[in-house]
Amino acid sequence: MKQINITTTFSVFDSKEELTADLLDLMNQAIEIRKKAYAPYSKFRVGCAIALDNGKIVLGSNQENAAYPSGLCAERVAIFQAGAIYPDSKILKMAISATSDEKPVLAPIPPCGGCRQSISEYEFKQETPIEIYFMGESGEVYKSDSLKNLLPFMFDKNYL
């Protein structure tokens, strides 16, 4: 028997104001778009802004449904939109921010497991890492240099 240890690394910014101007703009777009979330059930609003290598920014917010599993997270709304509209562009960065109508969200909110798997597909396809920045409504911003830090033992098409 042997053990395998997998280490993942994140950078932590004390607040979004520590980000470079471009990233602060991307995060502010995630904050703006989260206001348009359709979240009547959870009251939890998530926004995602994606920067592409063609200079475009693609946005998404979570979209809920009375049949709960039929809703979709902000990250997947955004990344599927990027894949649908700009299939040949690379995704450089994703900024994510979350808030709640019911309580303060001060901790950085990472993408859920399903979103990690969806993001991994695009990182794998484009063969270059995607930087991921995530925060709550205020406070610290976590940065991952690649989706791999969030999903270290990922399933990909090589297993098929």
Provide, rounded to whole angstroms, the least separation between the CB of residue 7 and ligand THU.
23
Nearer to ligand THU, 61 or 146 (CB): 61
CB of 129 within 8 A of CB of 123? yes
Nearer to ligand THU, 44 or 133 (CB): 44
Q: Which of 26, 27, 73, 79 binds ligand THU (CB under 6 A)?
A: 73
Active-site residue, 121 included: no
67 annotated binding-site participant: yes
Q: Applying CB under 6 A, does 113 fall inside the site for ligand THU?
A: no
Helix axes 113-126, 74-85, angle to 10 degrees: 30
Catalytic choice (75, 102, 127, 140): 75
Query: Which whole-number Å values give the CA distances from 154 to 22, 51, 116, in the listed order?
Result: 30, 23, 9
39 annotated binding-site participant: no
Which tokens is 84 given? 């649908």
115 annotated binding-site participant: yes
Burial class for 42, CB neighbours closer than 10 Å (0-12, 13-18, 19+): middle
Q: Which of 31, 111, 141, 142 binds ligand THU (CB under 6 A)?
A: 111
Query: What is the rounded distance in angstroms from the CA atom of residue 50 to the CA atom of residue 29?
Result: 9
**Cβ neighbours for 133, distance < 8 A, ≥ 6 positions apart:** 19, 23, 26, 27, 93, 94, 95, 96, 141, 142, 143
Provide, rounded to whole angstroms, the least separation between the CB of residue 45 and ligand THU.
8
Binding site for Zn(2+), residues? 73, 112, 115
Binding site for ligand THU (CB under 6 A): 39, 42, 44, 46, 62, 64, 71, 73-75, 111-112, 115
Binding site for substrate, residues? 62-68
Catalytic residue annotation: 75
